[in-house]
Amino acid sequence: MTPFEQRVLERVRFLYGDDEAEVIVERICDLVRRYASLTKEKPDCLWTEQDAFLITYGDSILHEGERPLVMLQKFLSEYCCDLFTTIHILPFFPFSSDDGFSVIDYREVNPEFGTWDDVRAINNDFDLMIDLVINHASRESVWFMDFVNDQPPGRDFFIEQDKGTDVSMVVRPRNTPLLVPVHTRRGVRHVWATFSEDQIDLNFNNPSMLLEFIDIFLSYVAVGARFLRLDAIAYLWKSLGTSCIHLPQTHEVVKLMRDVLERVAPEVVLITETNVPVEENISYFGMGDEAHMVYQFGLPPMVLHALYRGNAAYLTSWAQQIPPLPPGCTYLNFTASHDGIGVRPVENLLPANEVEEMIDTVRRYGGFVTMKTNTDGTESPYEMNVSLFDALMGSRRGPDEWQIPRFICSQIIMLSMRGIPAVYIHSLTATPNDLANVERTGRMRSINRTRWQLKDLETRLANSNTPNAEVFDTLSRLLQIRKQQPAFHPDAGQTVKSLNKALFIIKRVSLDREQIIYALCNVSAVNVELVVNDLLDEGEQVVADLMGDSSLNEAQDKLKMLPYQCVWLHVSHPHGSVDDVV
């Protein structure tokens, strides 16, 4: 056996035992051979300081009579080519609910969105991130129709339980019933549905299910995926009597997928999506043998909390304690996405009363809160559903005139941190709460899933007096500045400093230790004055503010920061004197 085959055999034995292990391994190797033409040399580096992602739906940009993916490509080519290297197109497959995350057919493009050629057209200008919606499938899928009709292969692709089964230990991100009744040829059966009655969990205790998804994700690589996002991966493996979250078998499946990618497409990056507290989240790095990248789920609620209270103390403490990364791993930093702002990631990080206050403030600004069911049967907040732009229309004290500077501050914090930044399209365009969309769909997450008419959006972006244009133009300028700074390489060193509770301060040092950037963000509505020498380490001197609009005095010994102002200070140092930076 080759080292690859031996590694895969060990993983398969762990998952399924010895009886069929060698047969399963051979089938995996058949898939590897089928996609062998994809194989390239592993790149020296998987990412650089030039990398930035845009998160968007395939139909976020619309124009009557045109395919949405064509309109998205038009918008991206005209407005985003100099800003982003990668486009994360959220699930663009045929679906029955949840805006794409209830997949009917994993191998086809939703004909209402466009075609695979339209996806490839976007890939001509950008790298692609594609979702592998691996935990569940639509009840309208062919697989589920097979289950209902007791036909292979789908009849064995889902998880049946008796109606009275005790599932009280199962951790849920929702408060809907876990076991859903389904009328089948064999009578009424109850199937496992972690997220909704239309999203039926898949049975990975069946090795054929695993093989199916290995084939699917390799087919995504074949059409251009450079990044693969494992959606809701934490809930993949089910075992009664356990929490059914983060089980060892789930981690082993991720490692197996990583093994296959290393063999077939070593340039492809595997990303896990696990909206959970930090220690659980980073467990998906493994020992550097699982995900290359995990979402920085603590960042959105910690930033929101800091900006609501005008106090960066908790944000600073959290950022100072971010654990070291295994080699070859990084974070995907974001402040908003198609989902809400998670509450679970701040468990034990923020005082309970301040979390409640944050939730109440989001509600005051037009948002909603989604609940989850706990193992004791109680419910607790899971995520806050709101447009981030409208969430920042004020502080905890109420709306004020600082909405745009406060919002830009939130984005600069994300752009400054170690990792790769991911900007949601509705952050880039300063999209407000879409309450009409909530009313139309009946889903709270729809508040942050607006579909722009291209003409309307272009009109707003062309008018410098609109918030949309001001935010878009500012973020565009910052993204262009950022990608030219080696100190913002995802692997570059990071130290978080604590000098003033109103300031969030990060020191970044390039890999060659030739560039230092201090990112300072005033998270409060008051002016803050800082003695520069209190900030700098020995021998360092300010060269320039890369943003070009700071108020350093002539002697450069004091820095006055306006409410929500941020600066990127480029600092020089005597060669070789850079302090050790994690």
Residues 6+ apart with CB under 8 A from 573: 516, 537, 539, 540, 541
Find the catalytic residue in 198, 231, 434, 491: 231
Flag whether 162 is marked binding.
Answer: no
Flag whether 534 is marked binding.
Answer: no
How far is Cα 120 from Cα 126, in angstroms, rounded to an integer?
10
Closest CA to 302 of 321, 324, 286: 321
What residues pair up with 48 in beta bridges, in sequence order? Answer: none
Is there a catalytic annotation at residue 82?
no
Give all strands of the β-sheet with 493-497 in edge-to-edge order: 493-497, 503-509, 516-522, 566-572, 541-545
**Which secondary structure element, helix H or strand E, spans residue 535, and what is its range?**
helix 532-535
Task: Copy the structure tokens of residue 398.
Answer: 């109420």
Closest CA to 285 of 334, 330, 337, 345: 330
Flag whether 230 is marked binding.
Answer: yes
Flag whether 338 is marked binding.
Answer: yes
How far is Cα 566 from Cα 413, in angstroms, rounded to an integer?
9
Pairing of strands 420-424, 330-333: parallel
The answer to whether 60 touches 72, Cβ cutoff 8 Å, is: yes
The answer to whether 122 touches 113, Cβ cutoff 8 Å, is: no
- C-alpha dist (Å) from residue 163 to 238, 375, 573: 16, 18, 68
Flag whether 489 is marked binding.
Answer: no
- C-alpha dist (Å) from residue 287 to 227, 229, 547: 20, 19, 38
Q: Is 55 helix (H, G, I), strand (E, B) or coil?
A: strand
The answer to whether 89 touches 99, Cβ cutoff 8 Å, is: no
The answer to whether 177 touches 164, Cβ cutoff 8 Å, is: no
How far is Cα 428 from Cα 411, in angstroms, rounded to an integer?
9
How many C-beta neighbours within 10 Å does residue 296 have? 27
Bind-site residues: 98, 136, 229-231, 338-339, 445
Q: Which positions make up the binding site for substrate?
A: 98, 136, 229-231, 338-339, 445
User: Catalytic residue numbers?
Assistant: 231
